[in-house]
Chains A and B, each alone.
Chain A
Amino acid sequence: MLVNKPNNEKVLKIFSAIRCLSRDQLPRYMEGRLTDVERHLVEQHLTDCDLCYDALTALEQEENTERYQDLTNKLQRYVQNSIQPVSHVQKVAQYTRKEKNKEHMLAYFWIIAFIGLGVGSVYVLRGHMRNQPPVRIMASSLPQKDSVREEVATGVPLVTAAENNPGTTTPAPAATPAIQTSAKPATAPVHPDSAALKKAAALKVLHKTAAADCIKKHTLLQKQADSLKKEAADKVTAKAEEKKPEQRPEQKPAAPKEKQKEQAPPPDPPKRETPSTAVNSDEYLYKAAMVYQQQGNLNEAINRYKRIESVSSGKYVEMARYQLAICYRSKGQAGKARRMFKEVIRMDGSMKAAAQQALDGM
Chain B
Amino acid sequence: MQQQLTNLSDKELISRARKQLDREAESVLIDRYSHLLVAVTIPHLSSQPNLDPNIVFPALLQRLNASLKTQTIYKANEWILHIQKGYLGKPEKNTPFYPSRDGRDLLHIENTVDKAATNIIDRQDLIVRLEQALQRLSADDNALITQFYLENKSFADLTAATGLPREKLRTQLKAAKAKLAKLFMNQGYAS
Give the Cβ gap from B183 to chain A, nearest Cβ, in Å: 12
Q: Evaluate whether A68 and B39 lie within 8 angstroms (CB atoms) in the complex, with A11-B130, A12-B127 already known.
A: yes
Smallest Cβ-Cβ distance to B79: which chain A residue: A51
Residues of B within 8 A of A54 (CB): 39-40, 81
Does any Cβ of B come within 8 Å of A261's Cβ? no
Contact across chains for B127 and A59 when beta carbons are under 8 A apart: no
- Report how far A57 CA is from B131 CA in the complex, Å: 33
Residues of A within 8 A of B126 (CB): 12
Residues of B within 8 A of A209 (CB): none
Contact across chains for B170 and A55 when beta carbons are under 8 A apart: no
Neighbour of B24 across the interface among A17, A26, A56, A84, CB < 8 A: A84
Binds B, one of A2-10, A104-112, A142-150, A266-274: A2-10
Contact across chains for A52 and B77 when beta carbons are under 8 A apart: yes
- Report how far A80 CA is from B181 CA in the complex, Å: 39
Contact across chains for B77 and A78 when beta carbons are under 8 A apart: no
Residues of B within 8 A of A74 (CB): 53, 57
Give the Cβ gap from B6 to chain A, nearest Cβ, in Å: 11
* Chain A 1-60 residues near chain B, CB threshold 8 A: 7-17, 20-21, 23, 26, 36, 39-40, 43-44, 46-59
Does any Cβ of B come within 8 Å of A76's Cβ? yes
Supply 17 A–B pairs (Cβ within 8 Å), ascending by A. Answer: A12-B123, A12-B130, A16-B110, A17-B114, A43-B148, A43-B154, A44-B148, A46-B155, A47-B173, A48-B106, A51-B78, A61-B43, A64-B42, A80-B27, A80-B31, A84-B23, A90-B23
Give the Cβ gap from B172 to chain A, nearest Cβ, in Å: 9
Q: Evaluate whether A50 and B173 lie within 8 angstroms (CB atoms) in the complex, with A17-B114, A71-B53, A84-B24 already known.
A: no
Residues of A within 8 A of B (CB): 7-17, 20-21, 23, 26, 36, 39-40, 43-44, 46-59, 61, 63-64, 67-68, 71-72, 74-76, 78-80, 82-84, 86-87, 90
Contact across chains for A87 and B23 when beta carbons are under 8 A apart: yes
Smallest Cβ-Cβ distance to B30: which chain A residue: A79
- Report how far A223 CA is from B52 CA in the complex, Å: 113
Contact across chains for B81 and A50 when beta carbons are under 8 A apart: yes
**Can you add 19 more A-B contacts, CB < 8 Å, to A50-B78, A58-B39, A79-B30?**
A7-B150, A12-B116, A14-B145, A15-B106, A15-B110, A15-B113, A16-B110, A16-B113, A26-B35, A44-B148, A51-B81, A54-B81, A55-B36, A57-B167, A58-B42, A67-B46, A71-B41, A71-B57, A79-B27
Residues of A within 8 A of B112 (CB): 15
Give chain A's interface secondary structure class: helix
Give chain B's interface secondary structure class: helix
Contact across chains for B149 and A10 when beta carbons are under 8 A apart: yes
Residues of A within 8 A of B39 (CB): 26, 54-56, 58-59, 64, 68, 72
Neighbour of A14 across the interface among B36, B40, B149, CB < 8 A: B149
Contact across chains for B106 and A83 when beta carbons are under 8 A apart: no
Does any Cβ of A come within 8 Å of B67's Cβ? no
Give the Cβ gap from B81 to chain A, nearest Cβ, in Å: 4
Q: How many A-B contacts are there with CB distance less than 8 Å? A: 155
Give the Cβ gap from A80 to chain B, nearest Cβ, in Å: 7
1/0 per position for B164-179, CB-CB distance to A under 8 A? 0001001001100100
Neighbour of B180 across the interface among A14, A23, A52, A58, CB < 8 A: A14
The interface size bin for chain B is 35 or more
Smallest Cβ-Cβ distance to B181: which chain A residue: A15
- Report how far A72 CA is from B39 CA in the complex, Å: 8
**A7, A64, A83 — most chain B CB neighbours (10 Å):** A83
Residues of B within 8 A of A84 (CB): 23-24, 27
Give the Cβ gap from B79 to chain A, nearest Cβ, in Å: 9
Smallest Cβ-Cβ distance to B80: which chain A residue: A51
Contact across chains for B106 and A58 when beta carbons are under 8 A apart: no
- Report how far A40 CA is from B148 CA in the complex, Å: 9
Does any Cβ of A come within 8 Å of B134's Cβ? yes
Contact across chains for B155 and A87 when beta carbons are under 8 A apart: no
Give the Cβ gap from B145 to chain A, nearest Cβ, in Å: 7
Residues of A within 8 A of B41 (CB): 71
Contact across chains for B40 and A72 when beta carbons are under 8 A apart: no
A-B interface, 10 closest residue pairs, ranked by CB to CB distance from nearest? A55-B39, A83-B27, A87-B23, A51-B77, A51-B81, A23-B35, A17-B110, A11-B130, A15-B109, A55-B36
Q: Evaluate whether A72 and B155 lie within 8 angstroms (CB atoms) in the complex, with A14-B145, A52-B77 already known.
A: no
Smallest Cβ-Cβ distance to B23: which chain A residue: A87
Neighbour of B149 across the interface among A44, A50, A59, CB < 8 A: A44
